Amino acid sequence: MSVKTLKLVTGEELVVEITEETETAITFKNAVAAILQRTQSGDGALGFMPWMHSAQGPFTIPLSQIVCVAEVAEEVKNGYNQIFGAGIVVPPKQLITG
């Protein structure tokens, strides 16, 4: 599974599973929009919102509509995998001392 984040020319930031890349377009499935949510403490937290509510996908977007394609942060990937993947969460790397 190739989970990436896409920044579109519309300003939307998507977290997706890319299924195909060509010279002119990217095809993906399981798309969610990454949104900032306000927490009770007033801080911001990243959340997911369904993208293209009325369609299942796969979706194809021309490269001309994509500003950036990037790897997702580990904590974002963990949240995405809880929804669409095997539910496996990779713990943060820590130094083990004995």
Q: What is the pTM of this model?
A: 0.80
Is there a domain that residue 91 lies in? no
- Is 97 a domain residue? no
83 Cβ contact list (under 8 Å, min separation 6): 30, 32, 48
* Residue 19 pLDDT class (50, 70, 90 cuts): very high
CATH number at residue 80: 2.30.30.100
Q: Is residue 22 part of a domain?
A: yes
* Residue span of the structural domain in which 13 resides: 2-84
The dihedral through the CA atoms of 85, 87, 91, 92 has a sign that is positive
Residue 9 lies in a domain: yes
96 domain residue, yes or no? no
> Domain for residue 90, yes or no?
no
Cross-strand bridge partners of residue 4: 16, 71
Looking at the structure of the chain, the number of domains it has is 1
Residue 1 in tokens: 């599974």
Establish if 66 belongs to a structural domain: yes
Digit-coded pLDDT (tens) for 37-82: 877 777 778 889 999 988 888 999 999 999 999 999 988 988 888 8
User: Please, are residues 25 and 59 in contact by the beta-carbon 8 Å criterion?
Assistant: no
